[in-house]
Amino acid sequence: MKIYNTLTKKKEEFIPLEEGKVKMYVCGPTVYNYIHIGNARPIIIFDTVRRYFEYKGYDVNFVSNFTDVDDKIIKKAIDEGKTAAEISERYIREFNKDVEGLNVEPATRNPKATEEIDGMVEMIAALIEKGHAYEKNGTVYFRTRSFPDYGKLSKKNIDDLEAGIRIAVNEDKEDPMDFVLWKPKKEGEPFWESPWSEGRPGWHIECSVMSKKYLGEEIDIHAGGEDLIFPHHENEIAQSEACNGKEFARYWMHNGFLNIDNKKMSKSTGNFFTVRDISQSYDLQVLRFFMLSAHYRSPINFNRDLMEASKNALDRIQTAAANLEHLIDTAGKIECEMVSGLSTGGSQALSKEEEELLKESAKLQEKFEAAMEDDFNTADAVSAIFELVKLSNTYGTKESSPAFLKELLDRITLLCGVLGIKALKKEELLDEEIEQLIKERQEARKQKDFKRSDEIRNLLLEKGILLEDTREGVRWKRA
Ligand code: AMP
Ligand code: ZN
């Protein structure tokens, strides 16, 4: 399996640190708002990477953090008259709903920064002890020049970087390139005790600490969006390697950016969608399918036409799967009738032609694998699935044997499943059942049983039913 490694700028054969295991860390969101569709890209991509490893039989330890202390969270808390913890908890809940809709496997662990402060204080103290960090007026800085490999990931030269810094803003820093590990609190901010000041950690240290705690000093893959290469990942490497004296991560994977209508996504120009916005008009499976239609390292352009195209493409797969399922059901019934002597025709055994066609379909599975093994080329992997769909549509008929139909259906659902795509839609709910569940949800909300009301909302979402709370009451529609 080949992975493009940002560290070496080459596609490299994947060799795990420990046979059969993958230790993977993906930098997670800062939880101060609903995630936007740009944030969804790394979530979907690295979930697909994980799923492919699992398909290959690897045991994947997948850790992704929540940054739940940060200026933006604090600002939102002040604006809304809430605590920072209330804000972050709310958006972690909302995040979980979105990723469920996107069919993302739950991480092995989702550590939260605020629950790992002790570990951060410990690592900062170790860095000071080793001469890689220093304290000035309650702030602790990383001594960037003490780490000779600084810049190895982003291919930046520390002297060039320094030349680019025009003003020495901070008198306390020994060197303009030094970055903050710990900072004293400001009035009204959440804070923790430390040997240096009552304060809070800088952003970069949390990932070094959580990755070490949950995966060990050396891991296989560290991933995130390409904007994280510098300074976030560069600083993580400096902290971890200076502290542990070991290579932090073997493979660094970064996804390209998502643009909207060929422009950078930006809230101020209205060029911005949350995953929740999209879920009002589409099943989130469509968004997932859309993300997989391009190579993860290339930029991807989002617009309504492309989403419609993804919806139609996904529909083609799901229709083929539903047809196969229907044919299998009918064939099953014919067989029962045959057993009871009521019918003739339809055979259990594979015909010669079917055997040949199944060999062809197995080759398409190999084609799918070859695409995925070439640095997770999901676009080509999806093409292989479409070839399989075409084969099924052409040769899966009432006359086919159930074994043939079943093998085709299993192969389509298996390969779609590797991409996190559900080939078989869940059974549809009847209108009355939906109304009944909505009533139950209203009742639960009245009783302040938000757990139940969320459960119902998610259940409906899973069945493709979107709810909208309006002043006139709850409206619903099918995705
Ligand atoms: P943030 O919450 O801004 O730290 O972002 C969380 C993740 O989303 C990081 O891995 C970012 O690199 C990624 N990300 C943010 N914006 C985009 C975008 N427009 N396209 C792709 N990835 C993005
Ligand atoms: Zn990180």
pLDDT at 180: 97
Signed CA dihedral, 311, 283, 280, 293: sign only: negative
- Which domain does 336 fall in, by range? 313-418
| Pocket mutation for ligand 1, best pick of 33, 37, 41, 269 (most atoms within 8 Å of C-beta) | 41
pLDDT value of position 345: 45
pLDDT tens per residue, range 133-161 = 999 999 999 999 999 999 999 999 998 88
Q: Is 364 helix (H, G, I), strand (E, B) or coil?
A: helix
Cα atoms found within 13 Å of the Cα of residue 316, Cβ hemisphere only: 17
Looking at the structure, tell me whether residues 357 and 441 fall in a common domain: no
Residues 437 and 407 in one domain: no
Atom of ligand 1 at shortest range from CA of 226: 12
Specify which residues 63 forms β-bridges with. 25, 109
CATH of the domain at 184: 3.40.50.620
User: In 293-401, which residue ranges form alpha helices assigned H by DSSP?
Assistant: 304-339, 352-373, 378-395
High-pLDDT (> 70) share of the chain, %: 95
Q: What is the DSSP string of 171-233?
A: TT-SSTT-EEEEEE--TT---B--SS-SEEE-SHHHHHHHHHHHH-SSEEEEEEEGGGIIIII
Mean pLDDT along residues 21-32: 97
Q: Do 329 and 192 have their domain in common?
A: no
Contact 233, 153 (CB under 8 A): yes
Residue 198 lies in a domain: yes
pLDDT band with cut points at 50, 70 and 90 for residue 310 = very high
How much distance in Å is there from the Cα of 338 to the middle of ligand 2? 62
Q: Say whether pLDDT at 270 is over 50.
A: yes
Model pLDDT, residue 224: 98
The pair of structure tokens assigned to 216 is 């060990």
Does residue 327 lie within any of the structural domains? yes
217 and 82 both lie in a single domain: yes
CA of 439 to the centre of ligand 1 (A): 38
Confirm or deny that 27 is annotated as ligand binding.
yes
Nearest protein CA to atom 17 of ligand 1, as residue: 38
Residue 26 C-alpha to ligand 2 middle, in angstroms? 7
Q: Find the helix or strand (DSSP H, E) in which 127 lies.
A: helix 117-129
**At which of 255, 270, 300 does a domain end?**
255
Dig out the tokens for 73 from the structure.
Answer: 């969270």
Residue type, 194: S
Ligand nearest to the CA of 232: 2
Q: Does 325 lie in the same domain as 472?
A: no
Q: Tell me, using a 6 A CB cutoff, whether residue 201 lines ligand 1.
A: no
409 domain residue, yes or no:
yes
Q: State in Å: Cα 213 to ligand 1 middle.
A: 24
pLDDT (tens digit per residue) in 193-241? 999 999 999 999 999 999 999 999 999 999 999 999 999 999 999 999 9
CA distance linking residue 278 with residue 282, whole number of Å: 6
pLDDT at position 344: 43
Closest by Cα among 127, 117, 132, 129 to 210? 117
Cα separation, 225 vs 38, in Å, equals 9
Whether the Cβ atoms of residue 177 and residue 165 lie closer than 8 Å to each other: yes
Q: Is residue 286 domain-resident?
A: no
Region of poorest pLDDT, from 200-204, 275-279, 333-337? 333-337
Instruction: Give the Cβ contact number of residue 472 at 10 Å.
Output: 6
On whether 416 is known to bind a ligand per the annotation, the reply is: no
Q: Is 336 annotated as a binding residue?
A: no
* Mean pLDDT, rounded, for 163-192: 87
> Mapping DSSP to helix (H, G, I), strand (E, B) and coil, where does residue 6 land?
coil
Q: Which pLDDT value is given to residue 166?
A: 63
Short-list 271, 306, 273, CA closest to 292: 306
Taking every pair of C-alpha atoms in the chain, what is the biggest distance, in angstroms? 93
Residues 439 and 392 in one domain: no
169 and 235, same domain (yes or no)? yes
Ligand 1 atom at shortest distance from the alpha carbon of 27: 10
In 113-260, beta strands by DSSP E? 133-136, 139-142, 179-184, 199-201, 219-225, 249-255, 258-260
Ligand 2 geometric centre to CA of 474 (Å): 39
Residues 38 and 168 in one domain: yes
> What is the C-alpha to C-alpha distance for residues 33 and 87, in angstroms, rounded to an integer?
8
| Residue 384 CB coordination number (10 Å) | 20
Report whether residue 44 contacts ligand 1, using a CB cutoff of 6 Å.
Answer: no
Q: For residue 274, tell me if it sits in a domain.
A: no
Q: What integer pLDDT is reported at residue 478 of this predicted model?
A: 75
- What are the tens digits of pLDDT across the range 70-100? 999 999 999 999 999 999 999 999 999 999 9
Nearest to 287 by CA among 41, 90, 478: 41
Q: Is residue 128 part of a domain?
A: yes
Q: What is the pLDDT of residues 342-400, one digit of tens each?
A: 444 445 789 999 999 999 999 999 999 999 999 999 999 999 999 999 999 999 999 99
Q: How many domains does the chain have?
A: 3
* Same domain (yes/no): 347, 440: no
pLDDT recorded at residue 436: 85
Please give the residue that has the higher pLDDT: either 461 or 27: 27
pLDDT above 90 (res 454): no
Cβ atoms of 467 and 460 within 8 Å: the answer is yes
Residues 409 and 455 reside in one and the same domain? no
Task: Quote the pLDDT of residue 468.
Answer: 83
Query: Which protein residue's CA is at the shortest distance from atom 9 of ligand 1?
Result: 225
Beta strand pairing call for 59-64 and 133-136: unpaired
Task: Say if 43 falls within a structural domain.
Answer: yes
Q: Is the CB of 41 under 6 A from ligand 1?
A: yes
* Residue with CA nearest ligand 1 atom 4: 29
Residues 356 and 414 grouped into a single domain: yes
Average pLDDT, the chain: 93
Lowest mean pLDDT among 122-131, 169-178, 414-423: 169-178
> With a 6 A CB cut-off, is 27 part of the ligand 1 pocket?
yes
Distance, in Å, from the CA atom of 469 to the CA atom of 467, rounded to the nearest integer, reads: 7
Cα(207) to centroid(ligand 2), Å: 5
Q: Probe ligand 1: pick from 39, 69, 154, 300, max atoms within 8 Å of CB? A: 39
Within a domain: 161: yes
C-alpha 233 – ligand 2 centre gap (Å) = 6
The pLDDT of residue 462 = 75
Residues 354 and 404 in one domain: yes
Does the Cβ of 233 fall within 6 Å of ligand 1?
no
Answer whether 42 contacts ligand 1 (Cβ < 6 A). Answer: yes
